[in-house]
Every structure is written in structure tokens, then in C-alpha cells.
Structure 1
Amino acid sequence: MFFSDLCQFGDKIAFIENGESGDTVSGDLNNGIRHLSYAALQQEIDQFKQQLPSNRQLILLQADNTIATMLVYLACLQARHPLLLVNKQISDTHLQHLIQRYSPNWLMNGSHIQHISHNQHHFDDKLALLLSTSGSTGSPKQVALSATNLHSNASAICQTLPILGSDKTITTLAPFYSYGLSVINSHLLMGATIVLTEHSLISREFWDLFEQQQINSFAGVPYSYEMLLRLRFTQKALPHLRYFTQAGGKLSPEKVTALAQYAQQQNKQFFVMYGQTEATARMAFNADPLSKPDSIGQAIPGGEFLLHDEQGIALCTDGQAGELVYRGANIMLGYTEGKSDLATFSQLDYLLTGDLAYRDTNGDYFISGRLKRFIKPFGVRLNLDEVEVLLADNQWTAAVVGNDYKLQVGLQKSTQQPNDIPAIQQMLSQQLSLHPSVIQIAEFDMLPLTASGKRDYATLQQWFAEQ
């Protein structure tokens, strides 16, 4: 397992932290930057495990990109204590809701440890980790993952991406988000170095650290790259950067092309990836996005895709759309909503992704929408994802929700020129065969986002409901 033999990498540096955390962790200090070798990391883990009980107990960790969080995470994996990983910034209300539902024995926040319950849980032997199914930090619904899930996905990613043991990557995503956690796991498996920072990807401090540490790779979600392109990322030379990845949602083909062209011109690699928390992060990769910027590519090593129709029958014809189905060792144990769900899980043979997709003659897959992202105003069936693509094709950044009475569009305010809302409403009316009165448009300085940087449709829908 990626977490079980850390000492094999000896004095190689595992983590570098930019020293902004208030937690005290041993390791070499250089101008406020902490360096922790793999050997020292294991020593810290061993010391921390002495504070943990011998019997398996549930630990709730408020996580961030710090060495303190990494110590708890790795110690729990090694000692086989199931871990509920949440945002360090979770509200007190949401935190208490999770505590009531799951009755964790320990609450940990950085180096602060609090014993809060003597509750005796019954755990499935395979249970290792609980991650939220969405960016809603208050939702009790979690994805249950095993150590095998985590390791198999880390291994597949290492076979997919050109990760070297000499590499340095940097955290751009939260560790309680499966994509961000997979970056950490895969680099630990290779004995690479991970620079831990809480700085935003679009901040000057992040890029100062990026250049100072001579970073070789980073990961981002669509929103990350939308912002970077506005900040002229493609004009940066970044001589030490070898590759970068995008997942966490669909980035427009135009923006994928711009990033792929930059990578080609600068002798770098750009990978478009696809995944879900239910598959321990990633299921597919497109290593040539310049040729097919709207494709997720093919399944990762050890994985397999199928397409099913509405009756669950396999579709074998290229170009025919159906629900994307995935098989692989990284498929979750199952869902949980409280402590009683932790006792046992049935083996899942495949994962129904909820995404609509089709396959071309080369075996590459293309996501065309979400099964549940449909509305039927006045009987007109609309795919909300396709409406977003239509707006993006006309250079409007939007998040679209709705119901069977209204199409509701959250529009990002433009920094270049004001949005012509009547014109947008008229365009949608003509293109979608809807009366303008059914189309509701509101402008936002910043579209609501989840903690993972994805569009927060639940918050947007709630906003429209309250108007």
C-alpha cells in the first residue's frame, strides 16, 4: 500500500510546508519552510499512533493542506482507524450534524485532538475512509472507501501520468476532495515530494512558492483553469513544469484547446481526466486533448467502461448515447448516512456514474450530460448541461438550474463588457423554443462554488427559490 512502507524512501523529502499553519511539526526549517523526509514522516506517524487506541475507532478529521493533517491521515490508514475527512472550515452547525449522525470517537483539527465519544462502532473490515459525495459539507451522505480502493487508484494514476520519484507537486485542491487526495496518494506511492499550501491557485503567493520550489506538476478543476486563462497563464514559461491535469468537471473545448496548445508549445504535457468520489477519484484520462478537446479519453489501467440504455442493457454501437458505467478495483464500498451504515457493505460489481456518454470508433468516450440534469418546462425536455455549453459557445459563463416551470440562469458578470441580458434571454428563447417569460436570468459577481471549486447548483437553486 502507498501508506505502509514510507521508510523505503529514506531521506527523500515527503512534504514541504510553507509554514503558515499554527501547528508545530518537527522537521528541518529553512526560512519558515518545513521539510519532512519520508523517514522522519514515519517517525512522526509512529509517535502519533501512540496516542490512538488499540481497537478500531472512528476519527473525524477537519482537514487542510498541512503536515499535521497528513500525519493524522496516514496514521489512521496504518492503524486501520476509519477516518471521516471534512473541510477544516466546516461550520459548527454542519459539524455537529455529522457528529450526531456518525458518533465519532475522536475529533481532530490539526494537532488538536479531542476525545468526544465512547460509542462502540461496528465496522466493516474493509472500511478505511469516508468522503463527502458533494461539496456540501453539511450532507451526512458519504462515500465509503477501502485501503484497496485508495491504493488501486493511486497505482493506476501512476501508470497514467508521468510521475517521477524526483518530482515536486503542489496542492491546489483540498485533501477532503477526492481529486486533491488522489494527487497526494499517487505522489506518496512514487516517493515524490508534495508542497503543501493553503494559498489560492490564483494568488501571487502561490506562484511565488511555485517558482521558488521549482514545481513539476499541478492539478486543477474547470474553475481553476478558467481563472488562470483570464490571468494569462499561457504566457508563463514555467521551465520546471512538466505536466498539468484537469478533472472535476467539464472544461469547454475551447479552453482545453488553449491549454493543450500551450503545453505543446512549451514542451509540456496536459491531461484531461474524469472521475468521481465513488471511484476514489479518477476513472479516465485523455492524454491527447489537442486532438479531442471534448473527450474524457479512455479508462485508466485496470478499469473498464460500458454504456447502458434506460433498461440497463449494454449498448455496443459507437456513437450511441447511454449511461456511463464503470468497473474497476477503485469502486467504492458503498454510501453511508450514519453510524449504522458502517457495519457491512455488499460488493459492488460496477458503478453507475449518472453521466450520459457516447463512444467514438477509436474507443474514446465523451460526456454529453447528466441523467438528472433535465427539466421539462411546458413539456420541452432540456438538458441543463447543454444549455451551459450553448451559453459558453457564445462567450457567456453561466451555471444553469431550473424546474418544470422555469429555466434559471446564473450569469457571471463580465470584466470586459456588460452582459446584454435581454439579448441572452432572446437567444435562449429562440434556440430552446421557450417563451422568454420562462427564462429567468440573474447576474453574479462570482457564481456560487462548492469547496471543491465546482459549480454549486444546490446553492444557486436555493437562491432562485428565495427571490
Structure 2
Amino acid sequence: MIDAVDGRSLSHARLAERLDREAALWPARKGLALVAAAPRLDRVCRWLSLMRAGHAVMLVPPELTPARLDRLIERYCPDWLLGWPSRPGYADLDAEVQAVERPDPRPLHEDLCLLLSTSGSSGAPRMVRLSRRAVAANATSIAQALALTPQDCVATTLPLSYSYGLSLLHSHLAAGATVILSGQSVLERGFWDIAGQYGLTFLAGVPFVWQSLRRLDLDALAPASLRFATQAGGRLDPRLIEYFHTLMARRGGGLFTMYGQTEATARMTVLPPDQVPVRLGSVGRPIPGGHVTIRDGVVVYGGDNVMMGYGESRDDLGRGDELAGVLDTGDYGRLDGDGYVWLEGRAGRVVKVMGLRLDLDEVQARAALFGSAAALVRGDDLLVLVAGPLPDSAARAAFAAELGLPPVVVRWRQVAAIPWAGNGKIDLAALEALV
């Protein structure tokens, strides 16, 4: 594990020794730590040592506002604050850690290991409760599905408080691979300097990342070592999937398309590169140890990586496993004859325009070819918002025709920027406020 800011590194053997040493220093009584999940070596070691010692951690973005931080503290009554300015009711243990002055007597469930926000923004009070078994199972399964080796190297291109971003850390550590802790964007030249210095082999991104990279010369930016890409966190237009897969295939690798939810720790299915040309649009088969069925048109996932349940306050953190390894994803989909999953939209984002059923995520993915874009329905019309120049009349007509709609019901609006949440997904509440 390498800290890109100061160049410090730990081999896997030295990391294990450090975690064992630090784990022994934490109290025996199980507690909860509220962690500012910055991609720095000391911070990551601190929270991994808490998990190793049997404690639970709640990972949230380090840029969380004081008001949102106070809200989480009030609801979950954490025993420790890691990486935050001094707060009332807590005493400094050292420069990084504060301990609560009056510990909450309500016990935590013995299996509880990790709390993550369902949205990735951690402004919402509802958290996903994940067990130690779920975290370990998902890390191992992803490492197997991607065929990771100790020679591989990934960078933290996504927030570590976001399940997809955290899974990069966990799965590569599980495989004995190298993790570069970097807070730089893939759109910054400095990121690619680091990628070349340490021999990046895997690049991970959500649709926004890949849409942005399409406008750059990734082949020229990336070091020769980069051969594989992974995509998750929302639907990406198949044309972009094909483009980046082809680019990576020329480098001797390819693109892994994945599907996951925080409620399943991170990822549930993977489409390997060799299947992209023949199953373009599928999200693949279940990861090792997982299985998928279709119930009333909805994808139902089963596996050890499924959450224990949700938690909205400290009271909920003493509850046990409420799902028994089965997750109703809320996503419409189907299985083909070979067991590959094909998604057909999320319940809340499937709408009808002129009687035609549309998936707004698919509309957004198509519109992203024109720039950063979002889609909403207003009355009987489909509203497409684009940050940047609007497409010309011919392109707009072709876009509507692809959707099966007359151009008159597809309204276009130019906006200064599309609001994005910290996890790389569109902030729907802020989007609604724009219109």
C-alpha cells in the first residue's frame, strides 16, 4: 500500500504487522468509530486496525459538513471520532482520534463490521450494516472474478466511503496486489504521473469518469502497464463500453463491466472482457459464491456479501442479520440461458412517455455522448439537461428516434453544470432543484 502524497509504503507483511500491533491497543469492549475516510496511509491503517480488533467503523467523506457530522454523531453515538476536528463530548486521544467521554451503553452486534451510506454521500441517516463475513466474502470474490494477482496495481480513483471505491482497496489487498492511495482525479495530469511511477494495471470508474475520459486521449495518458478497466456505479452507454474495451484489448487486457449495490457490500455480477463483444449490455454472471434469480421481473441476489440490514440509529446497531443472505435489488432484469444478467431499469427510474416505457438511466447514458447530461420527465415530455453546447437539430432528431419518440416531446435544456454526488452519481435532489 502506497501513500501517493508522501511516497511512504507498506508491504503486505509490514501492513499485517502494523495492523496487529495497532489492533492490540484498542479497548476490548466493541465500539463504533466514525471515520473521515481520507486516502492516506495512516488513516487507512487506523480504521483497518479497528476492524481487525473486532470493532465497527462508519466510513464517511472527509469533506462532510459540520451539520451533517453532528447529525450522524447524534444518531449513532460513536465511541471514537477518527480524523475530525475536536467535538463537544469527546476527548483527544492523539492528533487523529477522539474518544467519547460518556460511552453509550447500547451494545453493538458482535458481527457488525462496517457501516456505509446507501447513497455514498453519508448525508442521509440510513446506513447499510455489513458483517465481517460480508466484507471478507466480497473482497475475495471480486479478486477471483477479476483474476487479480500480486503483480496488479490499482489507485483509489473513487471515494473510500463509497462501496465501489472501498472494494478496490479490499479486493486488491485480498489478492496481495498494490493499492495506491491517491486523492487525485483521473482528469488531472498528476494522477497519470503517479500511475506511470507505480505501474498502474487496473483503472476503475463510474459512468461519469468514463464519459469524461472519452474526451481525452486515454491511450496517450496511460502508462504501458495499464491493461484493464472496471466499470460499475450505473449504466454506461454500450458504445462507450465497446470503445474502452477495444482500447484496453489493444493493450492486452479489456474492460470488466460490473453490477453492484452497497447492500451487497459492493459488487454482485461481473462481465469479463472476453464476453464484452458477444454480450454487450449484460452485467455478467454472479461473482463466485453468489447467485441470481428473477422474481416478478426483479433481480434477487443471494450470497454471503449481502448486508445484515439497514440502520438509522444506534438502536439498530445491536440487531442481527435480517436478510439471511437474500437481497431484493429493486432492479428489473432478466437472465439469459447461460445465466448472464441483463438489467432493464430501476423501479423508481422507469417512466412512461407517450405510453412508451423508458429507463431514465439509459436515456442519460445515451445523452452523455453529447456531454455531462441528465434526464427527467416533466408532464408528458422527456427533459434532457446538458452541461455544454446542445446538439444540433439533426442529432436531437436522431436521439429521439433511437428512443422511439417524436422529437417534439424531447425537450433539451442547457445548464451550467450537472450536480454530481461524491460517489460519481447524479444528485437527483439537486437536479430537481434545477428545473
Counterparts of 1:421 and 1:451, CA distance in 2: 34
Counterparts of 2:152 and 2:398, CA distance in 1: 51
Counterpart in 2 of 1:344?
A: 319
Pair 1:353–1:238, CA change in 2 (3 A): same
Contact 2:248 2:255 in 1 (8 A): yes
Of 299, 322, 331, 1:355 maps to 331
CA offset at residue 50 of structure 1?
5.2
Pair 1:197–1:411, CA change in 2 (3 A): same
Counterparts of 1:220 and 1:237, CA distance in 2: 14
Q: CA RMSD in A?
A: 2.6
Counterparts of 2:210 and 2:83, CA distance in 1: 30
Which stretch shifts more, 419-428 or 86-95? 419-428
Tell whether 2:105 aligns with 1:120.
yes
CA offset at residue 51 of structure 1?
4.8
Which whole-Å deviations, capped at 9, do the CAs of 1:317-375 have from their partners, x for residues lacking one? xxxxx111111111110011111111113243411111111223333221121111134
Counterpart in 1 of 2:89?
A: none
Instruction: List alignment gaps of at least 5 residues for structure 1.
Output: 1-14, 20-31, 310-321
Aligned-residue sequence identity (percent) comes to 35
Counterpart in 2 of 1:221?
A: 206
CA offset at residue 308 of structure 1?
1.4
Structure 2 counterpart of 1:331, which letter? V
Contact 2:260 2:267 in 1 (8 A): yes
Counterpart in 2 of 1:12?
A: none
Counterpart in 1 of 2:153?
A: 168
Counterpart in 2 of 1:18?
A: 4
Counterparts of 2:354 and 2:239, CA distance in 1: 33
TM-score (norm 2): 0.88
CA offset at residue 126 of structure 1?
1.1
Pair 1:135–1:446, CA change in 2 (3 A): farther
Structure 2 counterpart of 1:401, which letter? L
Counterpart in 1 of 2:92?
A: none
Pair 1:405–1:209, CA change in 2 (3 A): same
Counterpart in 2 of 1:458?
A: 429
Question: Number of paired residues?
Answer: 420
Contact 1:83 1:130 in 2 (8 A): yes
Which whole-Å deviations, capped at 9, do the CAs of 1:439-465 have from their partners, x for residues lacking one? 66432343211111112222201332x
Contact 2:120 2:422 in 1 (8 A): yes
Q: 5 Å matches for 1:361-400?
A: 361-375=337-351, 382-389=358-365, 391=367, 395=370, 397-400=372-375
Counterpart in 2 of 1:240?
A: 225
Give the 3-state SS of the residue equivalent to 1:230 in structure 2. Answer: coil
Which whole-Å deviations, capped at 9, do the CAs of 1:66-120 have from their partners, x for residues lacking one? 1122112211111111111100111111111111111111111185111235212
Counterparts of 2:393 and 2:66, CA distance in 1: 39
Of 279, 296, 307, 1:292 maps to 279
Q: 5 Å matches for 1:190-229?
A: 190-229=175-214
Tell whether 2:417 aligns with 1:446.
yes
Give the 3-state SS of the residue equivalent to 1:33 in structure 2. Answer: coil
Which stretch shifts more, 286-295 or 141-150? 286-295
Give the 3-state SS of the residue equivalent to 1:409 in structure 2. Answer: strand
Of 137, 140, 165, 1:152 maps to 137
Contact 2:351 2:358 in 1 (8 A): yes
Counterpart in 2 of 1:88?
A: 62
Structure 1 counterpart of 2:332, which letter? L
Pair 1:333–1:424, CA change in 2 (3 A): same
CA offset at residue 49 of structure 1?
3.5
Which stretch shifts more, 163-172 or 400-409? 400-409
CA offset at residue 401 of structure 1?
2.6
CA offset at residue 261 of structure 1?
1.0
Which whole-Å deviations, capped at 9, do the CAs of 1:209-235 have from their partners, x for residues lacking one? 000111122211111111111112144
TM-score (norm 1): 0.83
Structure 1 counterpart of 2:50, which letter? C
Pair 1:38–1:403, CA change in 2 (3 A): same
